[in-house]
Structure 1
Amino acid sequence: MLHRNMAKLSRYLMIACLVISIVVIETILMNVWRYYPARKSEEDVPVKIGTTWEDLANYKSSASPNAAIITVPSLDNIIVNPCSYQTDRVLCQPQNNIVFLKTHKTGSSTIQNIFFRYGEKHNLTFALPKRSNIAGWPSLFHPGYLRDGVPKFKKYNIFAIHCRFYQVGLKEIMDPSSVYVTVLRNPVDQFVSIFNYFEPQIQKSLNITGDILSEFLAQPEYYFRPGKSFRLVKNPNLFDLGMPVEDSDNQTAVREKIRELDRIFDLVMITDFMEESLVLLRHLMCWDLEDIVYVNLNVGIEQKTRKNEAKEKAKAITDWNKADVALYEYFNATLWRRIREFGVEKMDCEVRHLRQATDKMYKSCLGNSSDATQPLKVLIRVRQSLEVNMHIRITLESIISQTQILQYLCNH
């Protein structure tokens, strides 16, 4: 009897060991599969056959059964092997709640597109404005400027549209765990870009003809009228970040505002060091390399002319925008401190692989990596056509079409 019981116990132990072994092996394989995904075939990227530009224009929502379903392109076939320094998924979880304060003429459309692409990929919810791509600007943000106002049940995952920063309003619609991100640009280059991009509006508000930037900088105090002039002609970054223009000449108020922003924002990216900023963003968000591969959007075409213009007028611009200069210098120094903490060699490695991945994406989609503005020109021409000729409202649906059009080019 004892022998039979021992034999039976032995069989049970063998079965238990076998089950445990299967579970362990399955867990190992799942982790290997997660970090080294199999290359997808073209069939794994569902693109509706026969998609036309009209389909893109009529696109409503990826959740709509009648929409032209065009997914964000799979980058598995074009991303190089990632750097040995990877985001450790054991120690962190991907962040899905994001507040991105979109500033003017800082490369923010490029970053916005990254957030939209990530949100679409993971079926996240977006805060959308009632009109255009702006939530109440130049007024301080209020949930009433959103298409759906304050969400009734679950708060939004992603806020990545133009607004004038007001955290009290944002807290009403966003999860408390939201990561706060914004971007700044060298104030000289930004100021020149603003005057080029918004020339008609600035010309009208300042009543200047001819070379409006030169005329304005010759006597800015004469032309500038608080509350009446175009809002971005003095310290535009601090204005976007919620500071009244009349306070930007008060050094104490500026220092307090910078400290406040430093407490609120988890990352302030710098356009002039976009790749380094994106690497820090990737690790802050616990994302993958493919999540931050990007296409430059809304970049000016005549960049050489603008750079020469910026050099000639640098002193006049910085003298007029001293508060923005102080803001930029503070967060630029903060960025480089974070890079040193991250590790310079580690950063060089990740930037190198990001460039390789971006270059491969350009080659795969447009067959040419030498002209980094080529996809930009294609996307902007199409987007302007959709906006102007077809009177499309610029909400999430039409903004996402930038990504869809790129994928359309990649797959046709």
Structure 2
Amino acid sequence: MRRIKAAIIGAGFIGKAHLEAVRRLGYVDIVAIGQNGQDKADAYAEALKIPKAYGNYMDLLNDPEIEVIHNCTPNHLHFEINKQVLLHGKHLLSEKPLTLTREEAKELHELASQTSLVTGINFNYRQFPMVQHLKSMVKDKDLGEINIIRGSYLQDWLLYDTDYNWRMEPEYGGQTRAISDIGSHLFDLIQYVTDLRIVEVFADLAVVIPKRYMNAAQGESFQPSSTHDRQLVDIKTEDYCSVLVKFDNGARGVFTVSQVSAGKKNALEINLDGSQASGSWKQEEPFRLMMGYRDKPGETVLRDPSQLKKEALPFMHYPSGHEEGWTDSLKNMMHNYYQAIVNQVPISGSVATFKEGYEIMVINDAIVRSARSGTWETVNWE
């Protein structure tokens, strides 16, 4: 197997996670890192043992050795960098959200569709074995017809008014925060597992903490805030949102996202209620799937090769009881992405496409419109 040369632009929390996951593959070399400014790039390259450092991403894109780009920059940089990556003829794995607006996302989707490049978005929660098992159960009608879908994604890293991050500023994070940052994962996961599309939404959102103390020097996401040089500022993006949803098969549902729920660290949960059974999966307990029935006791299905559907087996790599978690889902993500490049085949269905990234932005757009209008809004897919 030939070795692939790749680069990461942006080495914050998620950039480092990409780096670790890629290195676990064994056949991809991260040969360069891009940061805003040469001094920062040099410091990150030295710390992360990466041979090349670029203080300007355009210089990095002109490096002929690099085949693949991982865009792990803040949200407001996604569109322009992603566009330039495609125009420079390099394969691209982007962080979510794909862009800040649906118009930008549509442009990238259309641009990518005109190339032979391998493009994808890191919606890594698709990559858990138990998610794959649940998806296969839905496909095989083990739950019957899906009637009700409930989901939530709750965190507490922004619980205090002293918590602050660039994601709160609309010019950097976009007009939504909780919806785009964690809601996008929830919406993508639900549509992927059920193969249903959200067609209408009725949203309620709130800025729970309307004023926060901004630090002069902002750190990486999920890191404790500094206590120095604080300034009280107004917050315009939501801490919380609940959305009633309708699906294209007539199913109904409700989703809640929050970044101010004490004790919830990365609590992504999906619940599917079918005509024959229900299935529930929690990201913080990824090795189990809870099944419910009307006429017999509930079941706990564990991450065990003897219990899982055959479609889920390629996503698990260790025996039952040797648990695989969030970092392993990222490694699965990288493997399924890079296999398309190595084998020159269409990308795995477990990897979110730019088209699906665009569709998430369309959903987000409808949620924003609903929150403003106070009514049901149609998700306009065209």
Is the shorter-chain TM-score for this pair beyond 0.5, marking a shared fold?
no
Higher helix proportion: 1
Task: Kindly indicate which of the two structures has a greater share of residues assigned to strand.
Answer: 2
Q: TM-score, normalised by structure 2?
A: 0.29
Q: TM-score, normalised by structure 1?
A: 0.27
Structure with max Cα Rg = 1
